[in-house]
Structure 1
Amino acid sequence: MKRRNLIQMGAATAAGFTLAGVPLHLLAAGKKGGVINAVVQPEPPSLMVGITQNAPTQLVAGNIYEGLLRYDEKVNPLPGLATSWTSNKEGTVFTFKLKPGVTWHDGKPFTADDVVFSADVFLRKTHARLRANLASVESIKALDPLTVEFRLKYAFGPFLGIFEVGSMPMVPKHIYEGTDFATNPANATPIGTGPFKFKEWVKGSYIQLVANDKYHVKDVPMVDSVYFHIIPDAASRAAAFESGKIDVVPGGSVEYFDVQRLAKLPGAAVTTKGWEFFAPHAWMWINNRKAPMDNVKFRQAMMFAIDREAICKVAWQGFAKPATGPFNSNIKFYSTDVAKYPRNVETAKKLLAEAGYKGETLRLLPLPYGETWTRSAEILRQNLAQVGVKVEMVATDVAGWNQKLNEWDYDLAFTYVYQYGDPALGVARNYTSANIAKGSPFNNVEGYSNPKVDALFEAGGKEPDAEKRRAIYLEVQKILLDEVPVAWLYEINFPTLYRTKINNLVSSAIGLNDSLGTASIG
C-alpha cells in the first residue's frame, strides 16, 4: 500500500466518519439511550482480552478495550486509537499518530507509552498469536506522547492486519506495569478506552456494560447499557429471542434449523456480516502420520467422496458454502485457479484402490459444538461409507476433543479456524512444519510437511509487494490442493439474529466484537 494512501486513511474521522467508517449522520438514525440485551455463549472465562482470546471473551471485551486500527468489510485498515499511519518504501518502519484526548475508563490519559507497553511487554508475554506476528518487529518506540514507531527486522506483508482489538488490544500501563499480569485484580474489572465500561458480572447470569460518557468519539455510544446474558442451552436461547427477552443472538448461539424461523418473527432480522476478518474455515483433519492417511491418493479420495453441497444445505441450512481449498474466499490472495474436487464417487473409489486401502475402520471426531456439527459429521460418514471407507464416530466433550487433537490421538476430525484476513496470519500456521507440535488443536495438527510449502509461506510473509505475494500464494494453494493435507469442507457464514429496532449493529469486519458502540435503538 502506498504511503499516500496510508495517510489518507487516517483522515476518515476528520471527514465526518466515526468507528470503522460509519458516517456520523447514520448514528442519528436512532435515538440516544436504551438497553441492548445480547447472548454470550458460552460464558467467557475472563474479560481480559490480552490474556484470554476465545470467542466469548472477544465478543464482550472487544467493546471495552480497543486496538490501534479497525477494519472494514474488505479488511482494509481504518482509524481506531491511531488516526493515521505511514511507512517507509521498504515496508520496515511504520509510524502511527495517536488520537489526542483519549482516556482510560479510570480517567488516566492514553499515550504512546501505553502502546509500547501493550505490544512490546504485556502482549509479547500473554498473547501467543500476536507474539508470533511480532517476530518481525525489532523495536517499538514512543517518539512523543502521541507518536509510536514500529521498526521491523524485515518487511512483513500483512503487518497492518495485526492491530484489531482481539489481535493487539491496548492495555493500561499504569495498572499492569510491574505486576503479575495473570493475577492482577484488574483482570476481574477490566479498564479499557472503548465505548463501554465494565459494570457488573453475575456469574452464570449476565455481564453488564455501561456507556463510557467520556468516550473519544462524539455521540458514541448511543445506548446506555448492554447486557450479555448467559443462557445454557440453544433451545432456551432461541426461546429467549422469540419471547423478546433477547435483542441480539450472535452467530452459532442457536441451532441453524432455528435461525430461519426466528428471522421471520415480527421485528426480527438476520445478517451474516461482521465475520470477514475472521473468515471461519472448516475442514477435516487427516492424520498424515499413519496409514492409510499418509497416502496422498487416499486423501484425494476423501475430497472426491465428500458432498460439501449437501452438508452446507442440510446441516448448515445454507449458512455455509463449500470450501474450494485452504484459503477462505474472504482473505487476501484467494484463488480459484487450482485443482477442483467435485463430488465423484467413482473417482474416489478408484483412488482408494490405487492407495491400497484395505478396509480399516477409521476414528472420526466430530466437533462437539452442537447439533449442526453432529449432523455434518453424520453426512460425511455416510459419504465415506458410500465409497467403501469404514468410519467409527468417537463422541467427546470440548475438553476431550481438545485433548485428543493435542495428542494427535485421532484418524479424522472436524475443526474450524479463523484466518484473520491474510494467509500469513491465519493460514500458514496450519501447514508449515515448524508448527508441528503437540499441545494445540489449531496448529499443524495433521503433521503435513513440505519444505517447498514452508519456503513459500515464509517468502509470502516477508514480501511487501502485493502482486508478488499473490503469485507466491497461488503456488502455495496449487501445491496444497494437489497434496490434500486436510479435507477442506466449507466456509461458515455465521448468522446474527437481531431486532430491526437496532440500527448499525455491525460496523466492522469483526462485527459485534467491536461494533456495539455504533449501535442505536430507533
Structure 2
Amino acid sequence: MFQGSRKWLASLVLGATLALPAGAQAPATPTPGGTLNMIAQPEPPMLMVGLNTQGPTLYVGGQIYESLLTYGTDLKPLPSLAKSWEVSDDGLTYTFHLQEGVKWHDGQPFSADDVVFTGESFLTEAHPRWRLIHSTYVESVTAPDPNTVVFKLKTPFSAFINAFELSSFPIIPKHLYEGTDYRTNPANQTPVGTGPFKLQEWKRGSYIHLVKNPEYWKKDRPYLDELYFRIIPDAASRAVAFEQGTVDVLRGGDVEGFEVQRLAELPGVQSTTAGWEYYSPLAFMPMDLRKPPFDNKLVRQAVMHAIDRDFIAQSIMFGQAKAATGPIASTTKYYTADTPTYPFDIEKAMALIKESGVDLKANPIEIMPLPYGPQWERLVEYVRQQLDQVGFATTIKAVDAGGWSQAMSDLDFNMSVNFTYQYGDPALGVARHYLSNNIIKGTPYGNNGGYVNPKVDELFAKAAQATDEATAAAAYTEVQKILVDDVPVIWLFELQNTTLMHDKVHDLVRTGIGLNEVMDEAWISK
C-alpha cells in the first residue's frame, strides 16, 4: 500500500510566492462588504484561544481575539493591540503602549488592566507556554496607566519579544473572567474579544458564523461583512465545495495532498505557501517514556530507523512536507544539520531492539492518530505497519479532536502524533517539549512523554538567557545533538502547507502567521 516510486510526487511541491492566474490583475482599491467562506477542519472543540490552541481554534478564534503584537514574514514584530514598545538596554524591561479607544465585543472598554490580568492570572494558570515563560523569566506585569503595560524580567530572555502573537498571548477580558473558574466560565461558549469579527452563531456540525465588529478599533475595518467557517467532515466534499465556489479558501490540511496540485491549477485560483514563517510546524510522535518499551533509548532509536521519513513526506503527505532531522525545523533560527542521523534501515532497527533486551510482545502499544483527516490516519497505518515489521505489538486507538487533546493532556497514551509550532525561536516553540519542569498535566503541547535530562535543561536555559548570538547558537547546537541521540520523540517531517483561494479574494495572507492573522484587511472583488 505504501510502496512505490516517489519521483512523480515531486511536482506537487508548490512555490512559496502567491501565484495569480495569467493575465489577472488585483484591483487597486478594496471593496467593502461581502462574505468569505472558509472551512474549519476538524470542527474545533471551542473558540476560546486562551484555553485551547489547536489549529482550528486558532483559525476561527484568531478573528475574535487579539494579542499585543503580530509578526511579519521576516518574523519582525508588528503592532496589534500595542501600537509601540521599548526594551531597556539591559533587556529586563519591556514597555508596551496600547491602542486607544479599543472596546470588547460586549462594549466594555479594553485597558492595560486586561493585559495585566491576562499575563499575571489567566495565562499563568491556563496556558502551557506562557506559564513556563512566566515562572522562569517574568518578575512582574504592571500597568502604570490605562494605556501602558510594563513587563519586568528576572533575567534576560532573548525570545521574549516573539512571545506576543495570538496563540501565545491572547488578551482575555478581565471583567468576564476575574474570580471565576476559567475552564467552566460560560463566556467560553460565547467568546468576547477585541477582534474585527464577533461570534454570531455556531451551528454544531454545520458552520461557525462570524459578523463584522462595527466598533472595531481600526477605522473603516474590517472590509468584509461576515465570515463563515463551514464544517465539512469529508475531504472529497471539501474539495468539491472549493471547486464549485461554495468555499472561497482552503488552508493546509483542508483537502488531501493529491488534490492540492489539481485545485491550484484550476482557472481563477491562487496558491501560496507563505504565512507559515512564524510557526514552521514540525510533526513528531510523542511516546510515554515512563514505562516499557519506550523507556529504553535503543528501542526509540530503532523506531527512528524503522520509519522512512522521506517516504512519508513525499508519498503520504504528497510532497507537502520535508523530512525532519531533529527537534528544530530547518526554517527556524539556530537549526543545525550536524546531528546523529537515522537512515531508513529495517535490519538496523531489529538489531537495536535485540540489543535492548526489551520484550516488545510483552509490552503492546496503542498508537493514537492526530484526528485531522485521512492523511494523518494513513500516516499511523504506515507507522503501525513498520513497527509490527520489527516486532512491536500495536493497535490503533481512534479519537476525535477533543478526545485526542484530553488523552494527551492527561498523559494517558502510549504513542501518538502531534505537530506543533516553533514560534520563530526554539526558546518558545521547541524547548517546551523537552524541559523537565514542563512535564505537566493539562496541555497536549508540553513535555507529555516525560523526558528528563538535566544537561538539556541547562543548555536550553543557557541559550534562552544568552545576550549574544554566538553563545545561543553554540548551546542550541549542543542540545540538538543530545536530543537526536536520546530520541525523546520520533521526528517525522516539517509541514509545508499550501493555501488555495479564488482570485476574488485579496490581502488574506499578509504576515508570518498567515490565516491566523486578523482578516481586517481581507476583501472580495465583486
TM-score greater than 0.5 by the shorter chain: yes
Superposed CA offset, 1:187-241 (max 9, x none): 4443322222333333333222222344333443222221122223323322222
SS of 2:275 mapped into structure 1: coil
1:61 and 2:64 matched = no
Q: Tell me by how many angstroms 1:489 deviates.
A: 0.8
Superposed CA offset, 1:11-42 (max 9, x none): xxxxxxxxxxxxxxx99454222210111123
Choose which of 512, 516, 520 in structure 2 pairs with 1:517.
Answer: 520
User: What residue number does 1:363 align with?
Assistant: 365
Aligned-partner Cα distance in 2 for 1:205–1:325: 39
1:497 and 2:481 matched = no
The 8 Å contact of residues 508 and 515 in structure 1, kept in 2 or not, is answered as no
* Residues 501 and 293 of structure 1: CA distance in aligned 2, closer, same or farther (over 3 Å): same
The 8 Å contact of residues 362 and 412 in structure 1, kept in 2 or not, is answered as no
User: What residue number does 1:193 align with?
Assistant: 194
Aligned-partner Cα distance in 1 for 2:441–2:211: 42
1:375 and 2:363 matched = no
* Residues 419 and 434 of structure 1: CA distance in aligned 2, closer, same or farther (over 3 Å): same
The 8 Å contact of residues 128 and 443 in structure 2, kept in 1 or not, is answered as no
User: What residue number does 1:223 align with?
Assistant: 224
SS of 1:378 mapped into structure 2: helix
User: What residue number does 1:397 align with?
Assistant: 399
* Residues 116 and 295 of structure 1: CA distance in aligned 2, closer, same or farther (over 3 Å): closer
Q: Tell me by how many angstroms 1:147 deviates.
A: 1.8
TM-score between the two structures when normalised by the length of structure 2 = 0.85
Q: Tell me by how many angstroms 1:184 deviates.
A: 4.9
Aligned-partner Cα distance in 2 for 1:181–1:288: 31
The 8 Å contact of residues 456 and 476 in structure 1, kept in 2 or not, is answered as yes
Choose which of 398, 413, 417 in structure 1 pairs with 2:416.
Answer: 413
Question: Which sits farther off after the overlay, 305-314 or 395-404?
Answer: 395-404
Superposed CA offset, 1:143-201 (max 9, x none): 22322111112222211122112221223334444555455554444332222233333
Q: Tell me by how many angstroms 1:134 deviates.
A: 1.7
Aligned-partner Cα distance in 2 for 1:222–1:458: 44
1:423 and 2:398 matched = no
Aligned-partner Cα distance in 1 for 2:405–2:195: 33
Q: How does 1:274-313 map to 2 (within 5 A)?
A: 274-313=275-314
Q: Tell me by how many angstroms 1:298 deviates.
A: 3.2
| Matched letter for residue 436 of structure 2 | S
Q: Tell me by how many angstroms 1:437 deviates.
A: 4.6
Name structure 2 gaps, 5 residues minimum.
1-25
| Matched letter for residue 57 of structure 2 | T
User: What residue number does 2:477 align with?
Assistant: 474
Q: Tell me by how many angstroms 1:385 deviates.
A: 5.4
| Matched letter for residue 508 of structure 2 | L
Q: Tell me by how many angstroms 1:351 deviates.
A: 3.5
The 8 Å contact of residues 436 and 443 in structure 1, kept in 2 or not, is answered as yes
User: What residue number does 2:43 align with?
Assistant: 43
Name structure 1 gaps, 5 residues minimum.
1-25
* Residues 343 and 102 of structure 1: CA distance in aligned 2, closer, same or farther (over 3 Å): same
SS of 1:209 mapped into structure 2: strand
1:143 and 2:147 matched = no
| Matched letter for residue 102 of structure 1 | V
Question: Which sits farther off after the overlay, 63-72 or 255-264?
Answer: 255-264
Aligned-partner Cα distance in 1 for 2:360–2:117: 57
| Matched letter for residue 227 of structure 1 | Y
Superposed CA offset, 1:415-435 (max 9, x none): 322332222222222222233
1:324 and 2:340 matched = no
User: What residue number does 1:460 align with?
Assistant: 463
SS of 2:375 mapped into structure 1: helix
1:445 and 2:451 matched = no
The 8 Å contact of residues 360 and 393 in structure 2, kept in 1 or not, is answered as no
Aligned-partner Cα distance in 2 for 1:55–1:277: 14
Aligned-partner Cα distance in 1 for 2:415–2:190: 41
User: What residue number does 2:101 align with?
Assistant: 101
* Residues 178 and 352 of structure 1: CA distance in aligned 2, closer, same or farther (over 3 Å): closer
User: What residue number does 2:20 align with?
Assistant: none
| Matched letter for residue 363 of structure 1 | I
User: What residue number does 2:265 align with?
Assistant: 264
SS of 1:518 mapped into structure 2: coil
The 8 Å contact of residues 132 and 438 in structure 2, kept in 1 or not, is answered as no
* Residues 204 and 224 of structure 1: CA distance in aligned 2, closer, same or farther (over 3 Å): same
User: What residue number does 1:81 align with?
Assistant: 81
* Residues 139 and 253 of structure 1: CA distance in aligned 2, closer, same or farther (over 3 Å): same
| Matched letter for residue 284 of structure 1 | M
Q: How does 1:478-489 map to 2 (within 5 A)?
A: 478-489=481-492
Q: How does 1:170-185 map to 2 (within 5 A)?
A: 170-177=171-178, 181-182=182-183, 184-185=185-186
TM-score between the two structures when normalised by the length of structure 1 = 0.86
Q: Tell me by how many angstroms 1:61 deviates.
A: 1.8
The 8 Å contact of residues 155 and 465 in structure 2, kept in 1 or not, is answered as yes
| Matched letter for residue 248 of structure 1 | V
| Matched letter for residue 395 of structure 1 | K
1:247 and 2:245 matched = no
SS of 1:516 mapped into structure 2: coil
SS of 2:517 mapped into structure 1: helix
Aligned-partner Cα distance in 2 for 1:184–1:394: 34
Aligned-partner Cα distance in 1 for 2:302–2:78: 44
The 8 Å contact of residues 140 and 152 in structure 2, kept in 1 or not, is answered as yes
* Residues 389 and 244 of structure 1: CA distance in aligned 2, closer, same or farther (over 3 Å): same
Identity of aligned residues (%): 49
Superposed CA offset, 1:443-481 (max 9, x none): 333332221112112222333433322211111001111
User: What residue number does 1:7 align with?
Assistant: none
Aligned-partner Cα distance in 1 for 2:409–2:190: 32
User: What residue number does 1:70 align with?
Assistant: 70
The 8 Å contact of residues 128 and 446 in structure 2, kept in 1 or not, is answered as no
| Matched letter for residue 426 of structure 2 | P
User: What residue number does 1:4 align with?
Assistant: none
1:506 and 2:509 matched = yes
Aligned-partner Cα distance in 2 for 1:216–1:383: 54
| Matched letter for residue 378 of structure 2 | R
SS of 2:477 mapped into structure 1: helix
